Structure 1
């Protein structure tokens, strides 16, 4: 029995057992810590998502009340529905589905399929502005391409007022620049008057078909 125990595979059995036990113990504790960290991260992400959505919806409600001149919709908001599995597993992750709703007093309905082209365009612009204001506070360029498409004159003017307010808020940001591409001359002139710029750049074609850029003073 002594000769058997002195063989290589048995001679240091107590030391090998201790090392393997410590290795298993450390791995077990590390896995427990990772689960705790993953749960804490998931909780933080859920809180961050809720806080950001509240901020986005607050901006959307404010801009809608400023811009929209109709009386059939009081405000719009983004609703989120959690679709992922809350269990923390390697093949599971939290996900959300988003939908835009419109409210009139205490009644709430999905906008999809129930709004006009102008309302859809205005909602799209306002949501993008809210996202930019929430997540890109230090972004230097804010660009809009044909923002008055499908908007009537009253809503176009109120949109220019909302954009002017954003420019005013960002006036202390040195790298901020608002770029609006539009064929709506009345909108561009009104926007220039509102934000105090007093001019805009007109792109036109000359008799040879070449593009010409000229500064237009208001």
Structure 2
């Protein structure tokens, strides 16, 4: 506001200086004009009479006075117009000054509120939270990459372990010559949405003969399918359920021929033998095939079995029977 007032005073001083300068120039021009007229008159004075000279002098003075009056009147009007313009500009400047003062007062009142008064503290707190979050995101990204690598390694190790058990069980169980062994192969799903960072896999069971591996789906018999399903379940149990002592099989001999039934019984005996050190291990087999039970009973690990049948009242009865009773039939 002081700058505006100073500008107004400076304009007034410059106005006066300009006005005086214009007046001085005009007076000097008039003086030059009078001097020229005076010289001309001096030249003509010899041929003119004194009375004529006096009349001419009076006439010239009257003309000069009229010119000066008209000039001064015009200059006065210009000065008055400039004065009015300056007054108008001053009023507008004062109006803007008042508006600025009101806005300054309003802004000062807003700055005194809590949300602005403590803005620096809020900014510092939010900056700490942002930096901490950024560091946490960076650490989580490192953890995610390490975890992803660990999961990939664990997945690879478990698949190798599962396939090793499947190969051993298949070779010790399957009596045919058309399939050397079976295994599970996993392929990473390439159709997964890029927004999902977790990996997904497509698993398939293949049968291998020499260097040729073919999918079992649609290419194997029902017996081979049942045997492969049982072996895969046994392998999964061996790999992931070491602390779980219960292994249950429901009708495992379905669609198996006699030769593969004997091989399956032999494989189950071998599993029982390998788990004999585990105190909580139990193998539960639900079957209608008494010959399969007899094959299992030839080992030293099975002494009794439970028979379920209907009594006269059509109620189920569970009877514990000695394995030797099967040999009496």
TM-score normalised to structure 1 length? 0.89
Which of the two has higher C-alpha Rg?
2
Matches of 2:309 and 2:207, distance apart in 1: 40
TM-superposition CA deviations, 1:16-50 (whole Å, max 9, x none): 43333222211111111111112222221111111
Asked if 1:19 corresponds to 2:125, the answer is yes
**Correspondence for 2:148 among 39, 42, 53:** 42
CA, structure 1 residues 65+195, in 2 after alignment: closer, same or farther (shift >3 Å)?
farther
Q: Could you tell me how far apart the structure 2 residues matched to 1:121 and 1:75 are? A: 14
- Structure with the larger strand share: 1
Partner in structure 2 of residue 99 of structure 1 = 204
1:129 is matched with which residue? 234
Q: How does 1:168-183 map to 2 (within 5 A)?
A: 168-183=273-288
1:196 aligns with 2:307: no
Given the alignment of the two structures, is residue 216 of structure 1 paired with residue 318 of structure 2, yes or no?
no
Paired residue secondary structure (1:194): coil
Which of the two has greater helix per residue? 2
Q: CA RMSD in A?
A: 2.3
Structure 2 residue 268 is matched with structure 1 residue 157: no
1:139 aligns with 2:278: no
| CA deviations over 1:153-193 (Å, ceiling 9, x no partner) | 11111111111111111112111111111111111011011
2: CA distance, partners of 1:137 / 1:174: 12
Quickly say closer, same or farther: Cα 1:73–1:11, change in 2 above 3 A.
same
CA distance in 2, matches of 1:6, 1:185: 93
Q: Which has the higher contact order (CA 8 A, sep 6+)?
A: 1
* Paired residue total: 216
Structure 1 gap ranges (5+)? none
